[in-house]
């Protein structure tokens, strides 16, 4: 996908007990936070404004590290 970047928090920066969370951004667009909702059994996303400190704690994720179900959801969300 053209211009799409996926991030995760660096080790040690997650809130205790928080499930794996990913962030995405396409080109210079807004950031989205993605988390797996157990009850819905799907990845849910919401637009977020990230403070500078959070941005510094993010690390680029390789596409292979992104769960397959989230890859599908990102494809749907960022349809060209």
Structure tokens at 4: 């799409």
Interval 12-32: pLDDT, tens: 545 545 568 999 999 999 999
Q: Which residues of the chain have pLDDT under 70?
A: 1, 11-19, 80
Count other C-beta atoms under 10 Å from residue 78's C-beta: 16
Domain boundaries, the chain: 4-77
pTM here is: 0.84
Structure tokens at 51: 């403070």
Which residue, 59, 22, 27, is CA-closest to 44? Answer: 22
In angstroms, the CA 3 to CA 16 distance is: 32
């Amino acid at each position: 996908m053209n211009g799409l970047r996926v991030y995760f928090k660096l080790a040690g920066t997650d809130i205790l007990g928080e499930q794996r969370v990913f962030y995405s951004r396409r080109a210079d667009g807004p950031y989205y936070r993605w988390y797996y909702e157990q009850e819905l059994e799907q990845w849910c996303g919401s637009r977020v404004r990230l403070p500078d400190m959070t941005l510094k704690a993010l690390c680029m994720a390789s596409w292979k590290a992104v769960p397959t179900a989230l890859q599908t959801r990102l494809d749907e969300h960022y349809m060209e």
